Structure 1
Amino acid sequence: MKSLCCSVSSLALLVALAAPASAAPTVDGTVDGSYGAPLAVQTVQTNFGDSTGGVTGGGELDAAYATVSGDRLYVMITGNIENNFNKLSLFIDSKAGGENTLSGGPSYDGGVSSNFAGLTFDTGFEADYHVFGRWGGAFEVDVVDRAGGACTNDCLGDFGAATVGAGTAVQSGTVLGDGNGTTSFLSSPAEFGFNNNNAAGVGGGTGAVVGDPASVTTGFEFSIALADIGSPVVGSEILIHAAYGNGDNNFHSNQILGGLAAPQDNLGGDGGGNFTGNLGGIDFNQFAGAQYFSVTVVPEPGALMIAMLAVCGFVARRRA
């Protein structure tokens, strides 16, 4: 009778766990409802040009979303990326180790990756992977394993260019294959979508946000297998830092997620807006708040159901 009670008391939970999970986002550069609320929202106007959408100039990072589904990480950064090879950089902290202060050793992206040398993240953030996107025609994305700063000319990394909509304001493609100075390591293609049609969100300048950046629904979207970013375990936090800067990685804008406190001019290479030839003078500990956001790795419903059945089976055997 007690074993039966165990089964009955667990039935409602098992039914709930067996219910279909929310659908994984469609990677097309548009926010899906499955992301939920934004994990970070921009706090300062953009001083890299306020875009009016399409293939016009200007760049901004309005809000950040992330979720884990089907053993993949999905990230959505709403806003705009100018079609002049300016870059959106996502640094991902998803396993032990990594770099709190970036080294100049890893050489990729035509060698301009070395210009990150000396950039320091908030305490507790240690970058493992670098994902960056840019366009001047077809949108291009690289994924690089920085190996804790230990790789030099032998970093692992993959590259992909848009195969749908190349050169237009709405593009998509996959990432798989050797990159610029890197050797492929992905076990399955990473996916990306880009939609540059946003004309809302933040305005231009250095002051506090005027408008509603959380209302923006288009931008850069990316998905990668958890197995390719260190296989973070259930319950762990994946930390992500997003930054917008120039193509040579030596001048950062004021568009960072998590956001900077207003008023805030472009960071430049020293955090004060000056051009120094690299980003080594930027230390995010000098700015209020956390310049990153996080998402928790959650188990798939099927895995939870199997675990609960195993527990009930164990209890039944103990009571028999």
Structure 2
Amino acid sequence: MKAIRYHAFGGPDELRVDEIPVPHAGPGEIRIAVHYAGVNPSDWKRREGQYQAFEDGVLPLTVGVEASGIVDEIGDGVSGVAIGDAVFGFGDGTVAEKAILSHWAVKPAAVSFAVAAGLPVMTDTASRALDEVNIKTGQTLLVSGAAGGVGTAIVQLACLRGITVIGSASSPKHGYLASLGAIPTTYGPGLQERITHLAPGGVDAAIDVAGSGVIPELISIVGHPARVLSVADLSAEQYGAKFSHGPPVYPELILANIARLCADGLFKLHIAGVYPLQQTADAHRESAQGHVTGKLIIKVC
């Protein structure tokens, strides 16, 4: 089968289409014929070697950790799913024609395969970040870099929890943020003054999604580093803020919940671009530029 792999850490040119053996589902796993796979900043950061300090991996490595598709093999001990079911979830090496999922949910008929493929990482990251920053109903949250995939999820999930959200992004993306329920503002110089105007009662917590070096400013805005969290800046802890990363804690619960929210029209994902399997490197390049609104997706079949 075809899979996107890299044989050395480095830039997007390290990615290649390889022919590799078809994997088989082990105990507690399922295999899917992949329709679509999501693109995440962690994919190209991992490819660059940024995660070597806290992840084990033997080269060559197959790209991707989330996908949607049709179940075609079921491992021992698995129940509640059948061959032919449409599912989405977390796996390893999902940018391939076949992939093993370790955690999954049934895809609602009202949700496309493309959208479903982009949901797992962003919703898990967003849910974990909201829990870890300890933001409560009725409080105000600042999301720095709110228009990307994880930001899109944080804004919507926070609003569903009754939290007031201020989201920073470039001016052309303000309409998008407003459509998600956020109060938009621009990033860059003068952020603290703008936030003071938008939230005269103060901001209770801040989440950095973009990793653009704003942790000290977010701490100044919130007033305490323990109420600031980043999902993208590895240096956050140097300032006393939190750095949040996986693996998922309650993946099945999160996947089932997002499936329900999407089916009910309470959660939406904007797909910024769909790339064929052979153009995965181009998707990585676009993601690394940091200007994606919503999510990039790889079409496998």
| Structure richer in helix, relative to its length | 2
Same fold (TM over 0.5): no
TM-score grouping bracket, smaller chain normalisation: under 0.3
Larger Rg: 1
Structure-1-length-normalised TM-score: 0.27
Indicate the structure whose relative CO is greater, using CA pairs within 8 Å and at least 6 residues apart.
Answer: 1
